[in-house]
């Protein structure tokens, strides 16, 4: 295992003077502190010691029941025995790697993809096939070609407001992807942490709804409650869910009980539905501020994605633009972002791209940071 170069870059951004568009952190102002305080009292009163005791590996039953109800809003029809609770969705990614990946297995991923997934799978020794993408997400023909010509263990996708690009796989392509994975009898890991963070437009059903027997669906409370609680979950066919439980048991016995009961009551009492508009309001304004500043300051040869939600915008410069060079100059000027090359499974690509986060900085900071970046770009 190697300490990743990306971690080194992100370490630099811990300097308090830096305006960081680098991480993927929710805004602390979005955390429902008052609700959590009330739920604390409720959980202690209602569940007593059970909320602080060891619990079942697949998670607290009440939370799994509530998640099954919540997922109906996305047209996902699953039951408690399909659902398991993990330490963030990151925990689920590791468990999936542990169960399914043997040394040398090939995994198909988007190009670019969430590097935290690549890092979670990497210790199990896979290789990666990169699926081509455009503004509508993955290109189904590219997936089909990979599945026809290579032996793929599973496909890993973030279809909605993808990290790092913010892109969403279109409705038409979701249908095609579902057909392709069913035809090739391969399974899909659908990672969906940003689903609730929609600022405009019409929600799309997850691919899981079109291929439930072939999909392990992952989601998390990190973006709608608080990431520090580390509560994520999967919904999978029962046979796979059983394997997930067996693999998780030896790692951490179960995810923290207290947080699970808090999350369960956050859903059961209707607080998520009431609080979500507050989160969306903060992020919608920040995203608009970033779009506005990019349009105002950035040179015309630069293009960026225009997601309807999520936490990221992906910028592509002209072919000869070097985002890593910009990174080091920007850090001297107290601005940080993530050079795009780190999000490619084969890190020789995307040198002219970078990822911007807009959720953990306010509108004023966004304007200052984007202006500074554009000034450095124009000078070099
Ligand atoms: C695509 C994706 N998957 C998984 C995660 C992990 O989230 P968590 O472990 O907090 O649920 C993240 C975090 O940013 C992410 O962007």
- Summarised one tens digit per residue, pLDDT across range 38-49 is 999 999 999 999
pLDDT score of 260: 98
Q: How far, in Å, from the CA of 194 to the mean position of ligand 1?
A: 9
**Does the C-beta of 89 come closer than 6 Å to ligand 1?**
yes
Q: How far, in Å, from the CA of 166 to the mean position of ligand 1?
A: 14
**Does the C-beta of 86 come closer than 6 Å to ligand 1?**
no
As a whole number, mean pLDDT of residues 94-119 equals 96
Q: How far, in Å, from the CA of 89 to the mean position of ligand 1?
A: 6
Q: pLDDT band at residue 266, thresholds of 50, 70 and 90?
A: very high
Residue with the smallest CA separation from ligand 1 atom 13 is 24
Q: Quick one: which atom of ligand 1 is closest to the CA of 162?
A: 1
- By most ligand atoms within 8 Å of CB, the mutation choice from 90, 233, 355 for ligand 1 is 90
pLDDT score of 6: 67
Burial class of residue 102 (count of CB atoms within 10 Å of its CB; 0-12, 13-18, 19+): exposed
pLDDT score of 195: 98
pLDDT score of 3: 61
Residue with the smallest CA separation from ligand 1 atom 6 is 90
Compute, in degrees rounded to 10, the torsion defined by CA atoms 105, 244, 238, 145: -20
DSSP string over 287-315: HHHHHHHHHHHS-TT-EE---SBSSEEEE
Q: How far, in Å, from the CA of 246 to the mean position of ligand 1?
A: 22
Q: Is the peptide bond before 164 cis (omega within 30 degrees of 0)?
A: yes
**Does the C-beta of 88 come closer than 6 Å to ligand 1?**
yes
Q: Quick one: which atom of ligand 1 is closest to the CA of 89?
A: 11
Taking the C-alpha atoms of residue 155 and residue 358, their distance in angstroms, rounded to an integer, is 28
User: Which of 8-17, 141-150, 240-249, 309-318 is the least confident region?
Assistant: 8-17
**Does the C-beta of 158 come closer than 6 Å to ligand 1?**
yes
Average pLDDT value over all residues in the chain: 95
- Judged against a pLDDT cut of 80, whether residue 347 lies above it is answered with no
Q: pLDDT band at residue 5, thresholds of 50, 70 and 90?
A: low
- Judged against a pLDDT cut of 60, whether residue 190 lies above it is answered with yes
**Does the C-beta of 310 come closer than 6 Å to ligand 1?**
no
- By most ligand atoms within 8 Å of CB, the mutation choice from 163, 229, 233, 255 for ligand 1 is 163
Backbone angles phi, psi at 29, to 5 degrees: -65, -15
- Judged against a pLDDT cut of 60, whether residue 1 lies above it is answered with no
Q: Quick one: which atom of ligand 1 is closest to the CA of 222?
A: 10
Taking the C-alpha atoms of residue 285 and residue 368, their distance in angstroms, rounded to an integer, is 16
**Does the C-beta of 220 come closer than 6 Å to ligand 1?**
yes
Contact 82, 241 (CB under 8 A): yes
Q: How far, in Å, from the CA of 193 to the mean position of ligand 1?
A: 6
Q: How far, in Å, from the CA of 192 to the mean position of ligand 1?
A: 9
- Judged against a pLDDT cut of 90, whether residue 138 lies above it is answered with yes
Q: Structure tokens of 173?
A: 């392509």
Q: How far, in Å, from the CA of 108 to the mean position of ligand 1?
A: 18
**Bridge partner list, 131:** 110
Q: How far, in Å, from the CA of 90 to the mean position of ligand 1?
A: 6
Q: How far, in Å, from the CA of 153 to the mean position of ligand 1?
A: 21
DSSP string over 60-79: -HHHHHHHHHHHHTTT----
DSSP string over 321-380: --HHHHHHHHHHTTEE-EEGGGGSSSTTS-TTEEEEE-SSS-HHHHHHHHHHHHHHHHH-
Q: Quick one: which atom of ligand 1 is closest to the CA of 158?
A: 1
Q: How far, in Å, from the CA of 118 to the mean position of ligand 1?
A: 12
pLDDT score of 2: 58
Instruction: List pLDDT tens digits, range 193-216.
Output: 999 999 999 999 999 999 999 999
Burial class of residue 315 (count of CB atoms within 10 Å of its CB; 0-12, 13-18, 19+): buried
């Amino acid at each position: 295992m190697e300490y990743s170069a990306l971690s080194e870059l992100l370490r630099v951004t811990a300097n308090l003077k830096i305006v960081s568009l680098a991480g993927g952190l929710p805004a602390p102002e979005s955390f429902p502190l008052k609700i959590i305080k009330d739920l604390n009292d409720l959980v202690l009163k209602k569940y007593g010691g059970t909320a602080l005791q060891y619990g079942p590996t697949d998670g607290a039953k009440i939370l799994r029941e509530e998640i099954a109800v919540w997922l109906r809003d996305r047209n996902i029809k699953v039951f408690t025995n399909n659902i398991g609770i993990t330490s963030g969705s990151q925990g689920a990614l590791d468990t999936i790697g542990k169960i399914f990946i043997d040394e040398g297995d090939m995994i198909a991923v988007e190009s670019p993809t969430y590097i935290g997934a690549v890092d979670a799978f990497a210790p199990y020794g896979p290789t990666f096939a990169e699926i081509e993408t455009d503004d509508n997400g993955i290109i189904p023909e590219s997936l089909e070609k990979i599945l026809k010509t290579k032996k793929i263990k599973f496909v890993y996708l973030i279809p909605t407001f993808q990290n790092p690009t913010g892109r969403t796989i279109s409705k038409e392509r979701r249908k095609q992807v579902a057909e392709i994975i069913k035809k090739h009898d391969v399974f899909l890991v659908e990672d969906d942490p940003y689903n609730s963070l929609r600022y405009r437009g019409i929600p799309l059903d997850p691919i899981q709804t079109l291929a439930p027997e072939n999909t392990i669906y992952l989601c998390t409370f990190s973006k709608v409650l608080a990431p520090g609680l580390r509560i994520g979950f999967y919904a999978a066919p029962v046979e796979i869910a059983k394997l997930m439980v067996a693999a998780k048991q030896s790692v951490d016995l179960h995810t923290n009980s207290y947080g699970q009961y808090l999350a369960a009551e956050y859903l059961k009492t209707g607080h998520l539905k009431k609080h979500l508009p507050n989160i969306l309001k903060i992020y919608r304004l920040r995203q608009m501020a970033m779009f506005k500043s990019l349009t105002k300051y950035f040179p015309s040869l630069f293009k960026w994605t225009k997601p309807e939600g999520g936490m990221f915008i992906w910028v592509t410069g002209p072919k000869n633009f070097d985002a890593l060079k910009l990174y080091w100059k920007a850090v001297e000027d107290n601005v940080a972002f993530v050079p795009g090359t780190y999000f490619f499974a084969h890190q020789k690509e995307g040198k002219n791209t970078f990822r911007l986060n807009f959720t953990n900085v306010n509108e004023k900071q966004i304007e200052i940071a984007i202006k500074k970046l554009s000034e450095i770009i124009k000078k070099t």
